[in-house]
């Protein structure tokens, strides 16, 4: 078969799995659909697309763009957008988010304990956690602006300074040098356990208790080590949303790098971007809110420490584990281990097995990533440690985490997210109808099964293609010999193609009809 014939066959397969798809599944419908083609064709087609993108990128992308050479437009130059940076608008958002936090706690404690009749579960798990993650990645990081814990602490800090004088800015507790974001990583793992495994995490009162506990921890941490230090090092949500926002098309920036000298998060040798601390203390003339190409934030040359590398791996491992628990394979694991764990943990056997799975998934991901990075180092980067290679390429995994998050949760937020419409009128489940939306019924047909499957496939494949591009740019930026840079990417290509196949298999398991 000639090279041209092979390419025609490849494009035919790609076209089939993207275009000629019949209804498959929409998450949450409880219904299965037949694929028009065998699943293995979708998996091979996705892997072939990623491999083809590697070839094209290797042929045509020969130069590494500089840190600040990408095209961008400062949106603050447009007067009609000034409202979004006005003091009144910002205060409105901060006040609204702070009041909403209180309402969610009150609703969880005293409202209807039916999860579908109380706004707290829908808002926390769907609108906030899934929704803000999507907004952070696809639009920009709005969390520093609306973070209610930060805003409430800042308000009381202002009251204290007004009546009692400005307090000493030195922290009451100094974090150990080199601590990185390990505290935030630990809290993220705990949060993930509550989200995915804790048996009653869907109950309003349980959520309210967890929010109260987290509030106490957060405000105590801000008081002890300082607000900015806590957010940068210990707040799992600020860290997670910041990682996802590196892919986004909107960045905040400051032209005045002198403010970075007082910010522990900035590298003053390079362009200051995506640092809310520097942005907030800069003058209005130095502030920028830039529109930029998707993904360029992942090319930052700032050093990535080992804790940040682990956080990205855990972010990817957790969302993959969430999908994997819906597969028949995991069901068979539960079945095979149930008797043993029942003897040890009684009626908490399922919780224990899932906890072990959540614990080991990040370890498995780390081992696999280490093996491939060590191979890359041996091929093209002699003398460079494996951990250094791991840190260099870790941001290339963020598009994959985002793609899987999108494919796994999109129908979830579009269908179950509609519950917020009637719940706005009756947030506590007390029979109110404040804005005449209580009678709204969830439209399960707003997202058809065809759309759900196509979106999942395209999202996963596109995420891996972008990851290949990011890894390629990082390679040619750090390895001067272009042939060695390309050679270093062979193991990464195998990893990307393999994870594409695994992701498509996981997404398909609970939705594809077996014949």
If we measure between CA atoms, which residue out of 471, 506, 456, 419 comes closest to residue 123? 419
**Helices 349-380 and 328-345, axial angle in degrees (round to 10):** 120
- At 402-459, the pLDDT tens digits run 999 998 888 889 998 999 999 999 999 999 999 999 999 988 888 777 787 888 899 9
Is residue 337 domain-resident? yes
Is residue 156 domain-resident? yes
- At 288-301, the pLDDT tens digits run 889 999 999 998 75
- At 79-114, the pLDDT tens digits run 888 777 778 888 999 999 999 999 999 999 999 999
Is residue 451 domain-resident? no
> What is the percent of the chain where pLDDT is above 90?
60
Is residue 131 domain-resident? yes
Tell me which residue range forms the domain holding 476: 73-434+463-492
Please report where in the chains the tokens 């491939």 appear, as a residue.
Answer: 372
- At 303-337, the pLDDT tens digits run 689 999 999 999 999 999 999 998 889 999 999 99
Is residue 36 domain-resident? no
> Residues 259-279: what's their mean pLDDT?
68
Give the integer Cα–Cα distance in Å for 162 and 51.
61
What's the Cα-to-Cα distance from 22 to each of 26, 220, 323, 342, 454, rounded to whole Å? 12, 53, 22, 42, 9
> What pLDDT, on a 0 to 100 scale, did the predictor assign at position 130?
94
> Residues 214-225: what's their mean pLDDT?
97
Is residue 511 domain-resident? no
Reported as half-sphere exposure (CB side, CA atoms, 13 A), residue 368 has a value of 17
Is residue 231 domain-resident? yes
DSSP 33: B
**Highest mean pLDDT pick, 147-156, 163-172, 266-275:** 147-156
> What pLDDT, on a 0 to 100 scale, did the predictor assign at position 275?
77
Cβ atoms 33, 449 nearer than 8 A: yes
Is residue 11 domain-resident? no
- Work out whether the CA dihedral 219, 224, 227, 231 comes out positive or negative: negative
Cβ atoms 348, 305 nearer than 8 A: no
Give the integer Cα–Cα distance in Å for 280 and 287.
8
- At 3-30, the pLDDT tens digits run 333 333 333 333 333 333 333 333 433 4
**Confidence (pTM):** 0.89
Average pLDDT, the chain: 86
| Coil/strand/helix, residue 272 | strand
Cβ atoms 399, 247 nearer than 8 A: yes
Q: What is the 3-state secondary structure (H, E, C) of 441-495?
A: CCCCCCCCHHHHHHHHHHHHHHHHHHHHHHHHHHHHHHCCCHHHHHHHHHHHHHH
Residue 277, both tokens:
């601390």
> What is the percent of the chain where pLDDT is above 70?
87
> What pLDDT, on a 0 to 100 scale, did the predictor assign at position 64?
66
Please report where in the chains the tokens 């999108």 appear, as a residue.
Answer: 406
Phi, psi for residue 430 in degrees, rounded to 5: -105, 10
Domain count, the chain: 1
């Amino acid at each position: 078969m000639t090279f041209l014939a092979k390419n025609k066959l490849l494009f035919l397969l790609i076209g089939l799995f993207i275009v000629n798809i019949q209804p498959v599944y929409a998450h949450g419908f409880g219904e299965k659909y037949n694929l028009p083609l065998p699943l293995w064709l979708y998996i091979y087609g996705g892997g072939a697309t990623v491999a083809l993108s590697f070839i094209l990128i290797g042929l045509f992308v020969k130069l590494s763009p500089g840190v600040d050479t990408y095209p961008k437009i400062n949106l603050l130059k447009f007067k009609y957008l000034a409202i979004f940076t006005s003091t009144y608008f910002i205060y409105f958002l901060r006040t609204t988010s702070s009041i909403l936090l209180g309402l969610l706690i009150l609703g969880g404690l005293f409202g209807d304990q039916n999860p579908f009749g109380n706004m707290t579960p829908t808002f926390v798990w769907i609108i906030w956690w899934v929704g803000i993650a999507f907004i952070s990645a696809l639009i920009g990081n709005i969390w520093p602006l609306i973070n209610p814990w930060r805003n409430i602490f800042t308000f009381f800090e202002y009251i204290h300074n007004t009546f009692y004088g400005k307090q000493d800015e030195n922290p009451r507790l100094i974090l150990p040098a080199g601590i990185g974001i390990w505290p935030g990583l630990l809290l993220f793992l705990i949060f993930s356990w509550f989200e995915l495994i804790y048996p009653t995490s869907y109950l309003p009162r349980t959520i309210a208790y967890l929010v109260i506990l987290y509030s106490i921890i957060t405000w105590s941490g801000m008081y002890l080590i300082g607000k900015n230090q806590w957010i940068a090092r210990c707040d799992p949500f600020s860290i997670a949303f910041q990682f996802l926002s590196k892919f986004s098309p909107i960045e905040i920036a400051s032209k005045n790098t002198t403010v970075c000298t007082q910010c522990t998060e900035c590298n003053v040798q390079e362009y200051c971007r995506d640092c809310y601390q520097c942005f907030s203390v800069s003058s209005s003339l130095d502030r920028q809110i830039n529109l930029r190409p998707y993904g360029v934030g992942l090319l930052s040359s700032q050093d990535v420490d080992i804790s940040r590398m682990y956080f990205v791996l855990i972010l990817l491992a957790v969302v993959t584990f969430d999908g994997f628990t819906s597969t028949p394979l995991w069901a068979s694991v539960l079945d095979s281990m149930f008797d043993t764990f029942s003897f040890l943990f009684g009626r908490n056997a399922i919780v224990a097995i899932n906890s072990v799975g959540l614990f080991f998934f990040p370890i498995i991901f780390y081992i696999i990533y280490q093996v491939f990075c060590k191979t890359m180092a041996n091929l093209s980067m002699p003398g460079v440690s494996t951990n250094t290679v791991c840190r260099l390429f870790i941001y290339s995994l963020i598009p994959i985490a985002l793609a899987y998050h999108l494919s796994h949760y999109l129908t979830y937020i579009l269908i179950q997210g509609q519950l917020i419409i009637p719940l706005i009128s009756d947030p506590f489940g007390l029979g109110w109808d404040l804005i005449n939306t209580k009678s709204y019924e969830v439209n399960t047909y707003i997202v058809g099964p065809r759309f759900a499957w196509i979106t999942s496939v395209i999202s996963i494949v596109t995420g891996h293609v972008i990851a290949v591009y990011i890894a390629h740019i990082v390679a040619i930026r750090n390895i001067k010999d272009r042939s060695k840079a390309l050679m270093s990417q062979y193991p990464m290509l195998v990893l990307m193609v393999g994870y594409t196949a695994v992701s498509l298999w996981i997404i398909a398991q609970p939705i594809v009809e077996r014949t």
